[in-house]
Amino acid sequence: MKLTRETILIIVAFFAIYIIWGSTYLLNKIAVTEIPPLFLSSIRFILAGIIIFIIAAFLKIPLTITKKQLLNNVLAGFLFLAYGNGVFVWALRYVDTGFAALEASSLPLVVLLIMRIVYKKKIQNMALFGVLLGFVGIYLLVSQQEITTGENSLLGVLMIATCIVSWASASIFVSIADLHKNYFVNSGYQMLCGGILLSIFSLIIGETWTSPFDWQPNTLNSMIILIIFGSIIAFTSFNFLLKKVAPEKVATSSYVNPLIAMLLGWYVLDEKITLQSIIAASILLVGVYFINSSKNNK
Protein backbone atom coordinates (compact mmCIF):
# COMPACT_ATOMS: atom_id res chain seq x y z
CA MET A 1 0.00 0.00 0.00
CA LYS A 2 1.45 3.35 -1.10
CA LEU A 3 1.43 6.07 1.50
CA THR A 4 0.31 9.49 0.30
CA ARG A 5 1.99 12.71 1.43
CA GLU A 6 -1.06 13.56 3.56
CA THR A 7 -1.05 10.14 5.23
CA ILE A 8 2.62 10.53 6.12
CA LEU A 9 1.95 14.00 7.57
CA ILE A 10 -0.92 12.60 9.64
CA ILE A 11 1.33 9.84 11.03
CA VAL A 12 4.09 12.35 11.87
CA ALA A 13 1.55 14.72 13.45
CA PHE A 14 0.15 11.95 15.66
CA PHE A 15 3.70 11.10 16.72
CA ALA A 16 4.21 14.75 17.70
CA ILE A 17 1.10 15.05 19.87
CA TYR A 18 1.60 11.59 21.39
CA ILE A 19 5.29 11.83 22.28
CA ILE A 20 6.10 15.53 22.53
CA TRP A 21 3.02 16.46 24.53
CA GLY A 22 3.66 13.53 26.84
CA SER A 23 6.90 15.21 27.85
CA THR A 24 5.34 18.61 28.57
CA TYR A 25 3.88 17.45 31.91
CA LEU A 26 7.39 16.95 33.25
CA LEU A 27 8.71 20.15 31.68
CA ASN A 28 5.85 22.25 33.04
CA LYS A 29 6.30 20.71 36.48
CA ILE A 30 9.98 21.66 36.47
CA ALA A 31 9.30 25.21 35.30
CA VAL A 32 6.31 25.89 37.57
CA THR A 33 8.42 25.22 40.67
CA GLU A 34 10.21 28.53 39.96
CA ILE A 35 7.94 30.57 37.67
CA PRO A 36 4.31 31.54 38.45
CA PRO A 37 2.04 29.32 36.28
CA LEU A 38 0.11 31.93 34.27
CA PHE A 39 3.26 33.98 33.68
CA LEU A 40 5.06 30.81 32.59
CA SER A 41 2.37 29.92 30.05
CA SER A 42 2.00 33.50 28.78
CA ILE A 43 5.73 33.81 28.01
CA ARG A 44 5.75 30.38 26.39
CA PHE A 45 2.85 31.09 24.04
CA ILE A 46 3.70 34.70 23.17
CA LEU A 47 7.26 33.77 22.19
CA ALA A 48 6.02 30.72 20.26
CA GLY A 49 3.50 32.88 18.39
CA ILE A 50 6.12 35.47 17.48
CA ILE A 51 8.52 32.78 16.24
CA ILE A 52 5.76 31.22 14.14
CA PHE A 53 4.98 34.56 12.50
CA ILE A 54 8.67 35.19 11.79
CA ILE A 55 9.02 31.76 10.16
CA ALA A 56 5.79 32.26 8.20
CA ALA A 57 6.99 35.64 6.94
CA PHE A 58 10.36 34.13 5.94
CA LEU A 59 8.53 31.39 4.01
CA LYS A 60 6.26 34.06 2.50
CA ILE A 61 3.12 32.49 3.93
CA PRO A 62 0.28 35.07 3.92
CA LEU A 63 -0.71 36.12 7.45
CA THR A 64 -3.82 38.08 6.47
CA ILE A 65 -7.04 36.73 7.95
CA THR A 66 -10.66 37.85 8.05
CA LYS A 67 -12.31 39.37 11.11
CA LYS A 68 -14.29 36.15 11.64
CA GLN A 69 -11.14 34.02 11.43
CA LEU A 70 -9.40 36.29 13.94
CA LEU A 71 -12.30 36.03 16.40
CA ASN A 72 -12.37 32.24 15.95
CA ASN A 73 -8.65 32.07 16.69
CA VAL A 74 -9.10 34.28 19.78
CA LEU A 75 -11.78 31.90 21.09
CA ALA A 76 -9.65 28.85 20.28
CA GLY A 77 -6.64 30.48 21.94
CA PHE A 78 -8.65 31.10 25.09
CA LEU A 79 -10.18 27.61 25.29
CA PHE A 80 -7.00 25.74 24.34
CA LEU A 81 -4.24 27.83 25.86
CA ALA A 82 -5.39 30.58 28.22
CA TYR A 83 -7.76 28.32 30.15
CA GLY A 84 -7.15 24.76 28.97
CA ASN A 85 -3.38 24.94 29.39
CA GLY A 86 -2.77 27.94 31.67
CA VAL A 87 -5.08 26.72 34.41
CA PHE A 88 -3.78 23.18 33.94
CA VAL A 89 -0.23 24.36 34.64
CA TRP A 90 -1.54 26.30 37.65
CA ALA A 91 -3.11 23.07 38.95
CA LEU A 92 0.23 21.25 38.70
CA ARG A 93 1.23 23.01 41.91
CA TYR A 94 -1.29 20.81 43.73
CA VAL A 95 -1.38 17.62 41.64
CA ASP A 96 1.37 15.13 40.85
CA THR A 97 2.50 15.11 37.21
CA GLY A 98 1.44 11.50 36.63
CA PHE A 99 -1.98 12.00 38.17
CA ALA A 100 -2.59 15.15 36.10
CA ALA A 101 -1.72 13.31 32.91
CA LEU A 102 -3.95 10.41 33.87
CA GLU A 103 -6.89 12.67 34.61
CA ALA A 104 -6.43 14.29 31.19
CA SER A 105 -6.91 10.83 29.67
CA SER A 106 -10.66 11.34 30.00
CA LEU A 107 -10.53 13.82 27.08
CA PRO A 108 -11.69 11.35 24.36
CA LEU A 109 -14.81 10.50 26.35
CA VAL A 110 -15.57 14.18 26.97
CA VAL A 111 -15.21 14.86 23.22
CA LEU A 112 -17.54 11.99 22.36
CA LEU A 113 -20.12 13.11 24.93
CA ILE A 114 -20.09 16.72 23.74
CA MET A 115 -20.48 15.59 20.13
CA ARG A 116 -23.34 13.33 21.17
CA ILE A 117 -25.13 16.00 23.26
CA VAL A 118 -24.53 19.05 21.06
CA TYR A 119 -24.26 17.58 17.56
CA LYS A 120 -26.32 14.40 18.08
CA LYS A 121 -23.48 12.35 16.63
CA LYS A 122 -23.81 8.63 17.23
CA ILE A 123 -20.99 6.99 19.16
CA GLN A 124 -19.74 4.00 17.22
CA ASN A 125 -19.47 0.74 19.16
CA MET A 126 -15.73 0.34 18.55
CA ALA A 127 -15.04 3.88 19.72
CA LEU A 128 -17.18 3.40 22.82
CA PHE A 129 -15.41 0.14 23.62
CA GLY A 130 -12.05 1.87 23.19
CA VAL A 131 -13.04 4.64 25.60
CA LEU A 132 -14.24 2.11 28.16
CA LEU A 133 -10.94 0.25 27.89
CA GLY A 134 -9.19 3.56 28.37
CA PHE A 135 -11.04 4.21 31.59
CA VAL A 136 -10.21 0.72 32.85
CA GLY A 137 -6.55 1.53 32.25
CA ILE A 138 -6.92 4.93 33.91
CA TYR A 139 -8.56 3.35 36.96
CA LEU A 140 -5.74 0.82 37.32
CA LEU A 141 -3.22 3.65 37.21
CA VAL A 142 -5.06 6.09 39.47
CA SER A 143 -5.96 3.45 42.06
CA GLN A 144 -2.29 3.09 42.95
CA GLN A 145 -1.43 4.83 46.18
CA GLU A 146 1.93 5.93 44.79
CA ILE A 147 0.21 8.23 42.29
CA THR A 148 -2.60 9.65 44.39
CA THR A 149 -0.63 10.89 47.40
CA GLY A 150 -0.47 14.57 46.36
CA GLU A 151 -1.19 16.84 49.32
CA ASN A 152 -4.20 19.19 48.98
CA SER A 153 -4.86 17.91 45.49
CA LEU A 154 -8.67 18.16 45.39
CA LEU A 155 -8.67 21.74 44.06
CA GLY A 156 -6.12 20.82 41.42
CA VAL A 157 -8.12 17.77 40.35
CA LEU A 158 -11.33 19.81 39.99
CA MET A 159 -9.63 22.57 38.02
CA ILE A 160 -8.01 20.06 35.68
CA ALA A 161 -11.47 18.60 35.04
CA THR A 162 -12.69 22.02 33.84
CA CYS A 163 -9.58 22.31 31.65
CA ILE A 164 -10.46 19.01 30.00
CA VAL A 165 -13.95 20.28 29.16
CA SER A 166 -12.44 23.49 27.77
CA TRP A 167 -9.91 21.60 25.64
CA ALA A 168 -12.56 19.16 24.36
CA SER A 169 -14.89 22.01 23.40
CA ALA A 170 -12.07 23.80 21.57
CA SER A 171 -11.11 20.61 19.71
CA ILE A 172 -14.61 20.27 18.29
CA PHE A 173 -14.89 24.00 17.57
CA VAL A 174 -11.61 24.17 15.62
CA SER A 175 -12.57 21.13 13.55
CA ILE A 176 -15.56 23.00 12.08
CA ALA A 177 -14.65 26.70 12.45
CA ASP A 178 -13.70 29.11 9.68
CA LEU A 179 -9.94 29.52 10.11
CA HIS A 180 -6.90 30.45 8.01
CA LYS A 181 -6.15 27.72 5.48
CA ASN A 182 -2.60 27.38 6.84
CA TYR A 183 -2.42 25.38 10.11
CA PHE A 184 0.93 26.92 11.03
CA VAL A 185 -0.54 30.44 10.84
CA ASN A 186 -3.58 29.40 12.90
CA SER A 187 -1.24 28.11 15.59
CA GLY A 188 0.56 31.45 15.61
CA TYR A 189 -2.61 33.46 16.08
CA GLN A 190 -3.91 31.12 18.78
CA MET A 191 -0.57 31.16 20.59
CA LEU A 192 -0.34 34.94 20.52
CA CYS A 193 -3.97 35.46 21.57
CA GLY A 194 -3.76 32.86 24.33
CA GLY A 195 -0.45 34.25 25.58
CA ILE A 196 -1.74 37.83 25.71
CA LEU A 197 -4.85 36.72 27.62
CA LEU A 198 -2.69 34.77 30.06
CA SER A 199 -0.43 37.77 30.67
CA ILE A 200 -3.50 39.88 31.47
CA PHE A 201 -4.83 37.26 33.88
CA SER A 202 -1.36 36.94 35.44
CA LEU A 203 -1.23 40.68 36.13
CA ILE A 204 -4.78 40.69 37.50
CA ILE A 205 -4.05 38.01 40.11
CA GLY A 206 -0.73 39.67 41.01
CA GLU A 207 1.84 37.10 39.91
CA THR A 208 5.47 38.11 40.20
CA TRP A 209 7.23 38.45 36.85
CA THR A 210 10.92 37.61 36.66
CA SER A 211 13.59 37.89 33.98
CA PRO A 212 14.72 34.75 32.11
CA PHE A 213 18.27 35.76 33.04
CA ASP A 214 17.37 35.03 36.67
CA TRP A 215 15.92 31.56 36.00
CA GLN A 216 17.71 28.35 36.94
CA PRO A 217 19.20 26.36 34.01
CA ASN A 218 16.63 23.56 34.33
CA THR A 219 13.80 26.08 34.17
CA LEU A 220 15.26 27.90 31.18
CA ASN A 221 15.91 24.66 29.28
CA SER A 222 12.38 23.42 30.03
CA MET A 223 10.92 26.66 28.70
CA ILE A 224 12.94 26.49 25.48
CA ILE A 225 11.81 22.91 24.83
CA LEU A 226 8.20 23.81 25.65
CA ILE A 227 8.25 26.71 23.18
CA ILE A 228 9.91 24.92 20.25
CA PHE A 229 8.56 21.40 20.54
CA GLY A 230 5.48 21.61 22.79
CA SER A 231 4.05 24.80 21.29
CA ILE A 232 5.31 25.31 17.74
CA ILE A 233 5.69 21.74 16.49
CA ALA A 234 3.14 19.76 18.49
CA PHE A 235 0.38 22.40 18.59
CA THR A 236 0.65 22.99 14.82
CA SER A 237 0.41 19.21 14.35
CA PHE A 238 -2.66 19.23 16.58
CA ASN A 239 -4.36 21.96 14.49
CA PHE A 240 -3.51 20.02 11.32
CA LEU A 241 -5.03 16.81 12.66
CA LEU A 242 -8.25 18.52 13.76
CA LYS A 243 -8.91 19.39 10.12
CA LYS A 244 -7.94 15.96 8.78
CA VAL A 245 -9.37 13.36 11.17
CA ALA A 246 -12.26 13.14 13.64
CA PRO A 247 -11.77 15.10 16.93
CA GLU A 248 -12.24 11.99 19.07
CA LYS A 249 -9.34 10.33 17.26
CA VAL A 250 -7.09 13.34 17.87
CA ALA A 251 -8.12 13.23 21.54
CA THR A 252 -6.52 9.78 21.86
CA SER A 253 -3.27 11.62 22.54
CA SER A 254 -4.53 12.00 26.09
CA TYR A 255 -4.33 8.22 26.46
CA VAL A 256 -0.71 8.00 25.31
CA ASN A 257 0.59 11.17 27.01
CA PRO A 258 0.32 9.68 30.54
CA LEU A 259 2.45 6.73 29.48
CA ILE A 260 5.17 9.07 28.22
CA ALA A 261 4.83 11.21 31.34
CA MET A 262 5.27 8.18 33.58
CA LEU A 263 8.29 6.90 31.65
CA LEU A 264 9.97 10.30 31.83
CA GLY A 265 9.16 10.51 35.53
CA TRP A 266 10.86 7.15 35.99
CA TYR A 267 13.89 8.13 33.88
CA VAL A 268 14.37 11.74 35.05
CA LEU A 269 12.96 11.73 38.58
CA ASP A 270 13.57 8.07 39.42
CA GLU A 271 9.86 7.44 40.00
CA LYS A 272 8.71 3.86 40.41
CA ILE A 273 6.84 2.01 37.64
CA THR A 274 4.83 -0.93 38.98
CA LEU A 275 3.52 -4.07 37.27
CA GLN A 276 0.03 -2.61 37.63
CA SER A 277 1.19 0.44 35.68
CA ILE A 278 2.52 -1.74 32.87
CA ILE A 279 -0.79 -3.63 32.65
CA ALA A 280 -2.74 -0.38 32.71
CA ALA A 281 -0.53 1.07 29.97
CA SER A 282 -1.20 -1.95 27.76
CA ILE A 283 -4.96 -1.58 28.22
CA LEU A 284 -4.77 2.13 27.41
CA LEU A 285 -2.95 1.46 24.15
CA VAL A 286 -5.53 -1.15 23.13
CA GLY A 287 -8.20 1.46 23.84
CA VAL A 288 -6.44 3.90 21.51
CA TYR A 289 -6.38 1.25 18.80
CA PHE A 290 -10.15 0.68 19.00
CA ILE A 291 -10.94 4.41 18.91
CA ASN A 292 -8.67 4.95 15.92
CA SER A 293 -10.12 1.87 14.18
CA SER A 294 -13.73 3.05 14.53
CA LYS A 295 -15.67 4.52 11.63
CA ASN A 296 -16.05 7.96 13.21
CA ASN A 297 -14.52 9.65 10.20
CA LYS A 298 -15.19 13.20 9.18
Using one digit for the tens of pLDDT, what is the confidence trace for 221-276?
999 999 999 889 998 898 889 888 888 788 778 778 878 887 887 788 676 677 87
pLDDT of residue 259: 80
pLDDT of residue 298: 47
Residue 141 pLDDT level (bands cut at 50, 70, 90): low
pLDDT of residue 265: 74
Has residue 37 got a pLDDT over 90? yes
pLDDT, tens digit, for every residue of 169-208? 998 998 889 998 888 899 999 999 999 999 999 999 999 9
Give the Cα separation of 230 and 21 in Å (integer): 6
pLDDT of residue 285: 75
Q: If you average pLDDT over residues 94-105, what whole number do you get? A: 76
pTM of the predicted structure, to 2 decimals? 0.81
pLDDT of residue 149: 54
Residue 100 pLDDT level (bands cut at 50, 70, 90): confident
Domain boundaries, the chain: 5-293
Give the phi and the psi of residue 264 in degrees, each rounded to 5: -70, -35
pLDDT of residue 131: 77
Has residue 150 got a pLDDT over 70? no
